[in-house]
A and B are shown apart, each in its own frame.
Chain A
Amino acid sequence: DVKVTQSSRYLVKRTGEKVFLECVQDMDHENMFWYRQDPGLGLRLIYFSYDVKMKEKGDIPEGYSVSREKKERFSLILESASTNQTSMYLCASSLAGGVETQYFGPGTRLLVL
């Protein structure tokens, strides 16, 4: 069975802290994604990785960076958390090659105080 796991379901951090969100998939997928979900805005793509060490900026990359050292793991880093980064963060993975299903993790709800 397909599985995408995220390191935390809930996180509370202070403004200025460095925050790491980790995502692991067990499906040998080439693609991995980080999205941010806010009410009324749907899912907005932060970063996309199509291979190990390869990444592409999404629609809202400012304030975020990513790391993909192994195929199964994709990390999202908030270098200096700010209150406007309070949100739900969703990780997904998919096969490469066009019209493929994206498989999502359960999400991490981040609160920045």
Chain B
Amino acid sequence: TQLLEQSPQFLSIQEGENLTVYCNSSSVFSSLQWYRQEPGEGPVLLVTVVTGGEVKKLKRLTFQFGDARKDSSLHITAAQPGDTGLYLCAGGAYNTDKLIFGTGTRLQVFP
């Protein structure tokens, strides 16, 4: 069974701080997606990366897919209270439309 471990599990920071969330596996994935889930809602896609070593930026968020396609990171610069939520990475398996979701990182940003 493919597993995706995220770290840290919880993160509580002040507005303006930087942070990095890690998503690691021993398995190789065809793609890697990051979702954010707010209370009372389902997860919403932030980004998809498909090439080993790829880096994508979405305003203050930077996503990287590892060269070996086994890991990914999400870096947030100058966090804001609106970034609060549960961040989930999800790996795409080869030859299937299914995703393997990570264990999640719950981020709280205080004003």
Contact = CB atoms under 8 A, between A and B. Distances in A.
Interface of A: 4, 31, 33, 35, 40-45, 48, 50, 58-59, 90, 92, 94, 96-107
A103 B37 CA distance: 12
**Per DSSP, are chain B's interface residues mostly helix, strand or loop, or mixed?**
loop
Given A104-B42, A107-B42, A45 B97 contact: no
Interface of B: 1, 4, 6, 9, 30-31, 33, 40-45, 48, 50, 88, 90, 92, 97-99, 101-104
Contact of B30 (A33, A99, A102, A107): A99
Contacts of B42: 4, 90, 92, 103-107
A92 B42 CA distance: 9
Given A43-B88, A102-B90, 17 more contacts: A35-B101, A42-B4, A43-B43, A48-B97, A48-B98, A59-B1, A90-B43, A94-B97, A98-B31, A98-B97, A99-B30, A102-B43, A102-B45, A102-B99, A104-B42, A106-B41, A107-B41
